[in-house]
């Protein structure tokens, strides 16, 4: 991820945190982000700003968790405004913001980087899912029940408990929408990169395709293909291929 873009995302995340009106809820969110987990056996395996949001589907690259979190938080705030203005449903926006920011924070404990640049489940991730880890942390910190519920229910009916409040429903829909959209973009980008590698006379091995995706970002590949066409993407992929190979040579 470009450093300038990373700093921009971090600033946008801080803005959402700072906009939480309730002082105790705002302090709780800040403390979790700054301190991590209170349980001595729960240690982050990848820093939040560098962690992926999944191993192989949506946001499966360094900084993916930060991107996903900012997207879900901003989308959830917008959905809350729609729920209130269109449907007249009273929404606790502070709970929405806090839950959206923290919903996937447990993923900093879930994955480890592999030597080939991909990801695998950590020892903790094989035993406790990310949703349970952050739900337990919030419960242990005495978080408001509505916040604990919104985080625990963010996978919808695949959660330990389905969303039973407007706030939980909003966070679930924001999370689902961003994950599904990013997954489709990721799949499209992988197919495009593989096709352009073949045109360059390079075997599109899975590890190489993923390395180029990490170099460019799925969204950049997707947009280049849609806006500028195949030739532009081929040039883009050729440049990224050189960067990936040069880096591998330097490390070797």
pLDDT, one tens digit per residue, over 2-52 is 788 899 999 999 999 999 999 999 999 999 999 999 988 888 999 999 999
Please tell me whether the overall predicted TM-score, pTM, comes out greater than 0.85 for this model: yes
Percent of the chain exceeding pLDDT 70 equals 99
pLDDT digits (tens, 9 = 90+) for 212-250: 988 898 999 999 999 999 999 999 999 999 999 988 787
User: Element (H or E) spanning 8, and its range?
Assistant: helix 3-18
> Mean pLDDT over all residues of the chain?
94
CB 65 within 8 A of CB 106: no
Query: Exposure of 251 by Cβ count < 10 A (0-12 exposed, 13-18 middle, 19+ buried)?
Result: exposed
In this model, does residue 185 exceed pLDDT 70?
Answer: yes
Percent of the chain exceeding pLDDT 90 equals 83
Angstrom CA distances, 90 to 32, 65, 82, 215, 252, stand at 27, 29, 11, 43, 58
CB 49 within 8 A of CB 63: yes
């Amino acid at each position: 991820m470009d450093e300038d873009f990373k700093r921009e995302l971090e600033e946008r995340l801080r803005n959402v945190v700072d906009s939480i009106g309730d002082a105790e809820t705002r302090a709780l969110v800040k403390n979790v982000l700054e301190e991590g987990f209170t349980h001595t056996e729960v240690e982050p395996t990848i820093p939040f700003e560098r962690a992926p949001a999944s191993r192989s589907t949506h946001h499966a690259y360094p900084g993916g968790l930060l991107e996903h979190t900012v997207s879900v938080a901003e989308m959830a705030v917008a959905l809350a405004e729609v729920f209130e203005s269109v449907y007249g449903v009273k929404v606790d926006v502070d709970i929405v913001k806090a839950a959206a920011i923290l919903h996937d924070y447990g993923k900093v404990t879930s994955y480890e980087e592999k030597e080939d640049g991909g990801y695998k489940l950590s020892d903790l991730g094989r035993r406790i899912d990310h949703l349970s880890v952050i739900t337990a942390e919030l419960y242990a910190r005495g978080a408001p029940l509505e916040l604990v519920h919104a985080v625990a229910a963010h996978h919808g009916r695949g959660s330990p408990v389905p969303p039973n409040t407007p706030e939980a429903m909003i966070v679930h829909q924001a999370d689902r929408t961003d994950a599904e959209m990013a997954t489709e973009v990721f799949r499209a980008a992988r197919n495009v990169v593989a096709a352009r590698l073949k045109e360059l006379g390079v075997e599109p091995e899975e590890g190489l395709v993923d390395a180029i995706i990490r170099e460019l970002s799925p969204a950049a590949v997707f947009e280049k293909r849609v806006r500028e066409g195949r030739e532009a993407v081929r040039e883009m992929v050729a440049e990224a291929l050189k960067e990936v190979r040069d880096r591998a040579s330097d490390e070797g």
